[in-house]
Structure 1
Amino acid sequence: MAEYKIEVTTGDTENAGTLDHIYVTLFGTEGQSKRTELGYLDIDFTTGAVTTYTMETSCCLGTLLLVKVEKDPHYILPEDEWYCSKIVVTTPDDDVILFPCYRWVSSGELVELRGGRAMKVYEEEHPLLIDHRKRERALKKSLYQWKIIDKGIPHFTSFNNSSELPAEIRFSKSKQHEMQNVAMMTDVALKLKRLIDSSEDWESFEEMKTIFCYKKTTMSEYVTQHWKEDDFYGSQFLNGINPNTIKRCSELPPNFPVTEDMVRPFLEEDSCLHTEMEDGNIFICDKAIMDGIPARNYNGEPLDVTAGFCLFYLNPDKKLMPIAIQLHQEPSRQNPIFLPSDPEPDWLLAKMFIKNADLMDHQAVHHLMKTHYLAEVLAVATLRSFPVIHPIYKLLIPHFRYTLPINTEGRKVLFGREGALRMSSLGYEGLTELMRRSLSELTYSSLCLPENITARGLESIPNFYYRDDGLKLWKIINRFVEEIMEHYYHSDCEVQDDSELQEWIHEIFMHGFLGNTDTGIPHCFHNVEEVIKFITMVIFTVTAQHTAVNDGQFDYSSWMPNGSLLLRQPPPTTKGEACMDTVLDTLPNVAETASIAGMLWLLSEKYTDVVPLGSYPEERFDEHDPKEMIKDFQDELSHLSEDITSRNSELKVPYTYLNPAEIENSITI
């Protein structure tokens, strides 16, 4: 006789427990156990329970390979689902083997769990495991399929509703309920104030301040007080929600004819534009990519979208100041260059139209396409290409938690009939065209923060906290990935021989970047270094980068004068004709403002089941070394968090979005 101890952990998520019959069968190199029932109609499998059972077999089963778990319904009680976190088996030789599960098990379902150390495909030797690996991948490919919505943007998962998704990747019931409650609270708050159905225009800026008495942040309050100030406007291109577009300007574009006389009053005394460019103090935001994209119709007439320029000057006080704005690409008498010395309404309108273009670029490209849509491609490719025993699956799957359900539902919320992004000046068709253009020009280096910063010439600009915190995070993530990958891949040949890894990157190349070799995205891996860099980019993108472009949306954009996705009036073509009422008329009306701000509320909300960056509550690695690497990773993140908190305590406008304590481990909202 041989004795096996079986420890079963039921998840602590809402309604994770079950009263159904649970059966286990052990498979080893020397045979298999009988199908054995564990517990029966008691508290063994209640939510959060950890229970241990003893199974006796007629002989030792040899090296343990698989655990088969079955759940049969009780004939009297209603059927339910059971969330099994993990099973740990102690063998007669006192080997302790982890069998991760972390999924819902339905009545009548059979689940086979792999245990032990992470295994690459060419390391498999036992026929049972080779067959299991093939069957697992075939099942995943049948479940997770690609869908092409538009030939010019990344491909999506084929599921139309989050309720259709396999249970292993759906929202937890508690997450689903909490999101529904927040949406309901937002809607009720707006309706109570009779905002959501009002087609009236705002009568004053003071009146706009009453929109969200139930929802304010320290930063959103600061924005309402300082939105007109040029230094605050400039700072947002470094540390606001879209720190991705500004770059150093060493030579003016020929279609942006700013003269020395125009900007001399705004430069240091006795200086000139040419000198300041040579000294690296001139920066530019160029929205040429939006030129010619048709805007949507509004009340029967097309709206205006400006694909212009904004020139910035880093002054001696280390403040980034806007000094010249041209609202369209081609200069003309009807397209003047606006200056800080122009009448206040003209200058405010010029800044608002640049910010309008920047916000649409932010939402469509830097937020949706470069984080959400890219994460969806990465998640689907990971689920299709890797079995759960693969080390890269174990490393990455925690970083795709809730990604597919939030994207599946988010597309309907953002682009549905009443969706806030459909309400933007470009509308659905315009934003989709913007994504097409951006994807066709996207480069691998632009997704890698160190290369991105260098390419834009922003290595030394002061007070650029997104860069400072982001580069430190990139290094910490890169060190962690390097340790994990070098633990499992001892040579470049092992990378080349890993057919599942090669299939993974090929799927990403084809479905995320549409097979465009000009992007520089690898379509295969030749060495360990390439894998380390790519996985660093993956983890940074779905954690830090998403947080940087998502979490500040309510802070910076709920106050519409600071930047709105919708501007209703055409931009100024002649100086001196606008007034402050023109500014108000250009902004969204009451209902439109409420809808956009409500969306930003939902997108920036923090939920109770947040998993911070570096936290891995699901125990997937069974080896000592990877577990220690995770601890070291967490320690480094903790030290960085302390440093950022200390720095922020001395800043008038703290930058909190890349504090590791504030970064989620995956895209969940």
Structure 2
Amino acid sequence: MEYYVTVATGTLKYSGTVNYVYVTLVGENGESERKRLDDHGWGLRKGQTCECKVWSKIPLGRVLLVRLEMEKWKKLNAEDNWFCNYVTVRPSGSGRTQTFPCYHWLVGDDKVEILDGTAKTLCDEILPQELAHRKAQLQERQSIYEWQVWAPGIPKCGAFKSEEDLPPDERFDFENAKNFEQVFHDILVELSLEKLISLINKSWKNLEDFDNVFCALPKTPTAEYIKEHWKEDVFFGHQFMNGVNPRMIQRCRKVPSNFAIQGKMVQDFLHPNTTLDKELEAGNIYLVDYVILDGVPGNVIHGNQQYIAAPLCLLYEHPDKGLIPIAIQLVQNPTKDTPIFLPNDPPLAWLLAKMWVRHAEFQIFEVLSHLLRTHLIAEVFCVATLRQLPAVHPIYKLLIPHLKYTQEINCRARTRLISSDGIFKKAVSTGGEGLLMLSEREYKILTYRSLKPFYDFKDRDVSKLKKYFYRDHSLKLWNAIEKFVSSIVSLYYSSDSEVEQDSELQAWIKDIVDEGFENASNFGLPNKLQNKQELITLLSVIIFTSSAQHSAINNGQFDFCSWVFNTPSTMRQPPPTDKNSVTMELIMSTLPDINQSCIIVAVTYILGKFPISCP
């Protein structure tokens, strides 16, 4: 009996091969012949399909899986891997065409067996051959994707020392596979920064001095707007709601006891005929507290101590002006001599105080909001999904597009960005020891609840804050994601008991909680799924975190950080203790030097670029 087979090769560079590739069909009743593809010698070319007829002595019944085998062409002394997108099979006559998704690299002398693309849980009717394939695939994956502790006190990750150790399926495509050092150098050239980066320990002369560099950078309207308005109090307040770190602001019903502020200090900045106490009671006062930074050791860059502050910033939702800052304290434990910076202070003193708040924002944004709360969390879900869910499981099919390349991105971050000699060590005040201490502190208080937008906004009591577009858009996206996820889950699980009885799914959640989030005592995610709604919520969290949340935090960083004075990555002088001694010379000696500025401009450009393509 004849079967018509179509094999599709991937579309990206180097997806094709001239190696020998063979196909065998395995059905309910037996196996077909082993058929070599491409008898005409053209090879399996990038982006093309290869069609052939495969003969079987007996009717195979339903084809259960397709076996693809690749043998190296001995005359070729170079690596020639092959990326297969999918295989379709149709019996002669009027039989139904079956599709077998592959999306897998075959390397050297290699073999892969792929099941029909129909998603199935263990609750569905599964033949012994299919069950054996699921188990074999998971056993192989679990031997490849193991857990490791990269650093104590943060989530576990995949046990790969660098991106070079990753399986080919986890690697970037060749267009995006340059090593970080080469990419960094190319970006410095593209941004015309390759000469300036050599100016170590040299300060900018003044704020306008950097404008000569900024003018040459690729800019968006947002970046241009920030450069023009970054000093304004209204825009300063706007960034807490709609900047790169819009998750810190919270409503303040009572001024913290360690914030040495009195109502009369801020009276002039409030609307007429009101007081601080009245505005606190009315819910119009907001607080951003960087207590998590208190005591974090500052980095040492080129032999020079860098400094970290843990500010408190009080903001007022003015009925006419919007959200504006009304008081800043740069320490958590004030003395009688600790200054409270106010909008009517000498302009340079108020500007420098706001810069210290923005510097704290950079540390929280990059280390906690970006690295820990999106990248490292997503990697836990990624590794557990690869280890515990076979490719035909509907939840695997749902999640894997959102977790693509997570491991390579994070491997590169661990080896190039946050390592002991990485980029953060060269230009960020929390680089080195401080970064890990900060991450440990956040991980201890991290909760599963805080990853759900509705509860995040509820717990921070910001549901009525005006012009909080991040909140409004997050909730809309969450609702759309949850609705989509709910429809998919309902297709494959008709009852709560089916969720409970899916042993693959239960192994998955157990791996997530007991391994990935080991020692996260406050996380609050049970290691067992008891009903459909728990599954729907968890899947929505995973997709939201790795897509919408990551985009909100990551994609605007070049806009908000390319004018380096708006979001300084490091501070080279301690926080001011005397308002009247702040000069432009002090400000410029405090802000990142020319070398550090160039590094951060280049890195935020690299990190904030549009996501890479998939095969």
Alignment pair present for 1:387 and 2:401: no
Task: Determine the structure 1 residue equivalent to 2:443.
Answer: 439
Question: 1:107 Cα shift?
Answer: 2.5
CA contact (8 A) 1:288 1:329 kept: yes
**Letter of the 1:24 counterpart:** V
123-132 or 535-544, which deviates more:
123-132
The answer for the alignment partner of 1:459 in structure 2 is 463
Of 376, 379, 384, 1:376 maps to: 379
Distance verdict in 2 for CA 1:334–1:96, change over 3 Å: farther
Q: 1:397 Cα shift?
A: 0.8
Match of 2:71 in 1: 72
Alignment of 1:35-114 (within 5 A): 35-40=34-39, 42-43=41-42, 45-78=44-77, 79-92=79-92, 94-114=95-115
Amino acid at match of 2:138: R
Matched, 1:139 2:140: yes
SS of match in other structure, 1:257 = coil
Q: Aligned-pair distance for 1:418?
A: 5.3
Within-5 A mapping of 1:199-238: 199=200, 200-212=202-214, 213-238=216-241
Q: Which moved more, 1:514-523 or 1:534-543?
A: 514-523
CA contact 1:509–1:515 (8 Å) conserved in 2: no
Question: Does the CA-based 8 Å contact 1:7-1:52 persist in structure 2?
Answer: yes
Report what 1:28 is aligned to.
27
Q: Deviations over 1:510-545 (max 9, x none)?
A: 333224353211211000000000000000000010
CA offsets, 1:397-432, max 9 Å, x none? 111111111111122221246533223222221111
Return the alpha-carbon distance in structure 2 between the equivalents of residues 250 and 214 of structure 1.
Answer: 43
> CA 1:41/1:206 → structure 2, altered by over 3 Å: closer, same or farther?
farther
- Residue type of the partner of 2:466? P
What code does the residue aligned with 2:204 have? W
Whether the 8 Å contact between 1:334 and 1:574 is mirrored in structure 2 is no
SS in 2 for 1:518: coil
Q: CA deviation at 1:487?
A: 0.5
Q: 1:527 to 1:88 in 2, by over 3 A?
A: same
Which residue of the partner structure matches residue 115 of structure 1? 116
Gaps of 5+ in 2: none
Structure 2 Cα separation of the partners of residues 230 and 312 of structure 1: 10
Shift of 1:253: 0.9
Please identify, of 86-95 and 395-404, the stretch whose mean Cα deviation from structure 2 is larger. 86-95
**Quick one: distance in 1 between partners of 2:613 and 2:356?**
36
SS of 1:8 mapped into structure 2: strand
Cα distance between partner residues in 1 of 2:287 and 2:323: 11
Compute the RMSD of aligned alpha carbons. 1.9
1:157 CA displacement: 1.1
In the TM superposition, what are the counterparts of 1:74-473 in structure 2 within 5 Å?
Answer: 74-78=73-77, 79-92=79-92, 94-123=95-124, 125-177=126-178, 182-189=183-190, 194-199=195-200, 200-212=202-214, 213-298=216-301, 302-317=305-320, 319-416=322-419, 419-422=422-425, 423-473=427-477
Separation in structure 1 between the aligned mates of residue 316 and residue 275 of structure 2, nearest angstrom: 11
| Alpha-carbon separation, structure 2, partners of 1:522 and 1:448 | 15
Paired residue secondary structure (1:337): coil
Q: 1:288, CA displacement in angstroms?
A: 1.1
2:162–2:415 contact (8 Å) kept in structure 1? no
TM-score normalized by the length of structure 1: 0.88
Q: 2:549 is matched with which residue?
A: 545
Q: CA deviation at 1:49?
A: 0.5
Q: Secondary structure at the match of 1:389?
A: coil
The residue that corresponds to 1:474 in the other structure is 478
Q: 1:180 to 1:591 in 2, by over 3 A?
A: closer
Decide whether the 8 Å contact of 2:38 with 2:50 is kept in 1.
Answer: no
Asked if 2 retains the 8 angstrom alpha-carbon contact of 1:20 and 1:40, the reply is no
C-alpha distance in 2, partners of 1:295/1:262? 31
Distance across 2 between alignment mates of 1:593 and 1:539:
34
Structure 1 residue 211, shift from structure 2 partner: 2.3
- Listed as ranges, the matches of 1:496-515 within 5 Å are 496-515=500-519
AA at the equivalent of 1:149: W
Deviation at 1:302, TM superposition (A): 4.3
How big is each residue's C-alpha offset from its partner over 1:367-397, in whole Å with a ceiling of 9 and x where there is no partner? 0011111111111111001111111111111
Choose 284-293 or 92-101, whichever is displaced more. 92-101
Given the two structures, how large is their TM-score scaled by the length of structure 2? 0.95
Q: 1:359 and 1:161, CA in 2 relative to 1: closer, same or farther beyond 3 A?
A: same
Deviations 1:565-593 (A, max 9, x none): 20001111122111121111100111111
The amino acid of 1:21's aligned partner reads Y
Trace 1:526-541 onto structure 2 (pairs within 5 A). Answer: 526-541=530-545
How far the C-alpha of 1:109 sits from its partner, in A, is: 0.3
Specify the SS of the correspondent of 1:209: helix
Q: Could you report, residue by residue, the CA deviation over 1:423-466 in whole angstroms, capped at 9, with x for unpaired residues?
A: 32222211111111111101111100111111111112111111
Structure 1 unaligned runs (5+)?
612-617, 619-669
Once residues 105 and 404 of structure 1 are traced to their aligned partners in structure 2, the CA distance between those partners, rounded to angstroms, is 19
Secondary structure of 2:198's partner?
A: coil
Distance, in Å, in 2 between the alignment partners of 1:158 and 1:571 is 41
Distance 1:287 1:332 in 2: 18
Could you say what secondary structure the match of 2:73 adopts? coil
Q: Contact 1:21/1:40 (CA < 8 Å) preserved in 2?
A: no
Deviations 1:340-376 (A, max 9, x none): 0111111111111111112101111110011111111
Give the deviation of 1:30 after TM superposition.
0.9
Indicate if the aligned counterparts of 1:19 and 1:41 stay in contact, CA closer than 8 A.
Answer: no
In structure 2, the residue corresponding to 1:258 is in which secondary structure? coil
Query: For the residues of structure 2 that align with 1:101 and 1:68, how far apart are their CA atoms?
Result: 11
**CA distance in structure 2 between the aligned counterparts of 1:217 and 1:412, rounded to whole angstroms:** 30
Aligned-residue identity in percent: 39
1:3 Cα offset (Å): 2.1
Q: State the one-letter code of the partner of 1:48.
A: G
Q: Distance in 2 between matches of 1:605 and 1:128?
A: 45
Partners in 2 of 1:179 and 1:394 — Cα distance? 30
Pair 3,193 (structure 1): closer, same or farther in 2 beyond 3 Å: closer
User: Following the alignment from structure 2 to structure 1, what is the Cα–Cα distance between the partners of residues 18 and 303?
Assistant: 60
Deviations 1:470-522, CA, capped at 9 Å, x for gaps: 11100000000000001111111111111111111112113332243532112
Aligned match of 1:656: none
Is the 1:190–1:196 contact (alpha carbons within 8 Å) kept by the matching residues of 2?
no
Q: What is the Cα deviation at residue 68 of structure 1?
A: 0.4
Alignment correspondent of 2:583: 579
* Cα 1:363/1:192, change in 2 over 3 Å: closer
Give yes or no for contact 1:318–1:462 (8 Å, CA) kept in 2.
Answer: no
- Give the alignment partner of residue 519 of structure 1, picking from 500, 513, 523: 523
Instruction: State the one-letter code of the partner of 2:433.
Output: E
Is the 2:184–2:603 Cα contact (8 Å) retained in structure 1? no
Q: Quickly say closer, same or farther: Cα 1:243–1:428, change in 2 above 3 A.
A: same
AA matched with 2:32 = S
Distance in 2 (CA, whole Å) between partners of 1:180 and 1:15 is 23
Residue type at the aligned position of 1:352: M
**CA contact 2:185–2:194 (8 Å) conserved in 1:** no
Identify if the C-alpha distance between structure 1 residues 318 and 529 changes in structure 2 by more than 3 Å, giving closer, same or farther: farther
Contact 1:482 1:532 in 2 (8 A): yes
Q: What SS is found at the alignment partner of 1:519? A: coil
For residue 334 of structure 1, report the CA deviation from its aligned partner: 3.6
Distance in 1 (alpha carbons) for counterparts of 2:407 and 2:266: 49
Q: Which moved more, 1:419-428 or 1:147-156?
A: 419-428
Q: State the distance in 1 between where 2:35 and 2:489 align.
A: 38
